[in-house]
Structure 1
Amino acid sequence: MDIPAAENVLGTLGALLPQIIINYRRHTTEGLQDSMMLLWAVAGVPLGVYNIVKELNVALRIQPQILTTLSLVTWAQCLYYGKKYSVLKCVAIVVPLLLFFGAIEVGLVFALRQAQTRALEWPLILMAVLSASMLAAGVMRHYWDIYIHRTVRGISFFFVGIDAAGDLFSLVSADIDVYIVFGSSIDILGIVIYGTELALWLGIFLCGGVFNLLPWLRRRSKRREEALQEPVTLHPMPSSTSVFRTASGSVVERRAWPSTS
């Protein structure tokens, strides 16, 4: 397995697994767009068709299957935590959908291989455009949520960072044969698609800085200023008159007398 291809597969795992773990620990998917995860699950189908028909290495043929599976798992979490579906109902929805996506992918692979024998290239280009468009549309769904709530919520910034790094690696990778690109004849299309997704993720980071980080820094600074401006409280010292109890139980008042010196 080529190292760049292995990094691509591990990057897919590293991007989605942290989001799944965070959802499980929080027991909520509030803010995470279920439509995004469903779009990503669907996007794995044409992406898998493209990689298989283009006969890319094994790692890149596996990656779309991982993307679809983990996206459906995350989508199932949205159903479970967000819509309060039961575990059984989530499984009953996700498993048949996963099998359906697999059947569609197998059928498209055979169909596009037949198209290749007739020198038809546009079906492969269509698969590439569909997969990348759905991935980008999933990210765009978060922008609407940010606009409505004026905050970035639900999505893991670690997940965003890893996926953005994957897009960046796609753009700067010199070996186009071991990475998901769209062939030497349409390299510009690959650059535009990955560049667009990278720009969208960077926009999520920017929104997080504006709507999440800056207000947090202002609140922290305000708390510090309030702590510094709190008045100093002087506690009264004990008076010169004190009372103590003798061994016999009587109370004797002791007074401080002025000094004779």
Structure 2
Amino acid sequence: MDIPVAANILGTTGAVCWSVQLLPQIFINYRRHNTEGLQASMMLLWAVAGVPLGVYNIVEELNVALRVQAQILTFLSLVTWAQCLYYGKKYSVNKCITAVISLLLLLGGIETALIFALRVAKQRDLQWPMILMAVLSASFLAAGVLRHYWDIYTHRTVRGISFIFVAIDAAGDLFSLVSVVFESRIDVLGMVIYGTELALWIGVFICGLVFNFLPWITERARKEPEAGEREVALHEMPSSTSVFRTASGSDVVMRRPQQQL
């Protein structure tokens, strides 16, 4: 099947975004030695979502970038999940590595088996298995982000998640979505997979604007006049009331009773 050049370029751009999307989050977790607010369940759901997403992209013979994209999603999600175990639950490094490798082998085996099975189903013109893969991948991706929505609702703030990561991931979804549109045939299910997550990330941006950015602007605007008033008051104070002169003046007051004695 001929893949249009535009689909390959856009798909590759989306894959690059998804290749580095979690790197800012991983770096922030490592730098602060903390994953508070980052949902481990979200990362695990994303790792699982990479399986039906990879199966769908490979069996449907979408561009190569989208096929690789799903594998990168699973790997980086498991690395971030391991950080949640290490920093949050205080697991040892060996336990985290063992958990990641075990899940990679398990998920990789399941994906390989499903690819062979669904290729046979596709040859027999069975459509429901591919629809199921699309629904599962979209559901797992959405459930992962929605898990963070619950944290936002509970704490009334967007915490523990890097907005750089969110921006790169949303860009990856956007480029992947457009690349599906440029395929030789429009894949509606593929558009649903990437469009769902893109919409949820836009919602996270809006929550960040409402709960994080606007209060920060308001607080900063309130503090600036107060700082200006303190500066004016300090300049208007006479030199005799400076901190140093007040201290020496108190010494004089303390010495007077001694002189009378």
Which of these residues, 67, 81, 100, is aligned with residue 75 of structure 1? 81
2:170 is the alignment partner of 1:154: no
Match of 1:233 in 2: 237
Letter in 2 for 1:226: E
2:140 is the alignment partner of 1:140: no
Structure with higher RCO (Cα < 8 A, 6+ apart):
2
Superposition deviation, residue 226 in structure 1:
1.0
Superposition deviation, residue 51 in structure 1:
1.4
Superposition deviation, residue 233 in structure 1:
1.9
Distance 1:172 1:103 in 2: 30
Match of 2:258 in 1: none
2:206 is the alignment partner of 1:199: no
Distance 1:170 1:92 in 2: 32
Match of 2:117 in 1: 111
Residue 51 to residue 19, structure 1, CA distance change in 2 (3 Å): same
2:43 is the alignment partner of 1:37: yes
Distance 2:212 2:159 in 1: 9
Q: What pairs up with 1:38-53 in 2 under 5 angstroms?
A: 38-53=44-59
Distance 1:59 1:88 in 2: 32
Match of 1:85 in 2: 91
Match of 2:224 in 1: 224
Distance 1:198 1:100 in 2: 28
Distance 2:68 2:191 in 1: 22
Runs of 4+ in structure 1 over 6 Å off: none
Match of 2:24 in 1: 18
Match of 2:208 in 1: 208
Superposition deviation, residue 193 in structure 1:
4.0
Q: TM-score, normalised by structure 1?
A: 0.82
Residue 114 to residue 191, structure 1, CA distance change in 2 (3 Å): closer
Superposition deviation, residue 202 in structure 1:
1.2
Superposition deviation, residue 148 in structure 1:
0.8
Match of 2:247 in 1: none
Q: CA contact under 8 A between 2:13 and 2:175: conserved in structure 1?
A: no
CA RMSD between the two structures: 1.8
Letter in 1 for 2:215: P
Q: CA contact under 8 A between 2:15 and 2:176: conserved in structure 1?
A: no
Structure 1: gaps of 5 or more residues = 178-182, 238-261
Structure number with bigger Rg: 1
Structure 2: gaps of 5 or more residues = 242-261
Identity over aligned residues, as a percent? 67
Q: Give per-residue Cα distances to partners, 1:40-85, cap 9 Å, x unaligned.
A: 0000001111112122333222111111000000000000011111
Q: CA contact under 8 A between 2:134 and 2:193: conserved in structure 1?
A: no
Q: Give per-residue Cα distances to partners, 1:224-256, cap 9 Å, x unaligned.
A: 11112222322139xxxxxxxxxxxxxxxxxxx
Residue 65 to residue 193, structure 1, CA distance change in 2 (3 Å): closer
Which of these residues, 125, 130, 133, is aligned with residue 124 of structure 1? 130
Secondary structure at 2:240 match in 1 = coil
Match of 2:183 in 1: 176
Secondary structure at 1:236 match in 2 = helix
Letter in 2 for 1:135: L
Residue 172 to residue 65, structure 1, CA distance change in 2 (3 Å): closer
Secondary structure at 1:56 match in 2 = coil
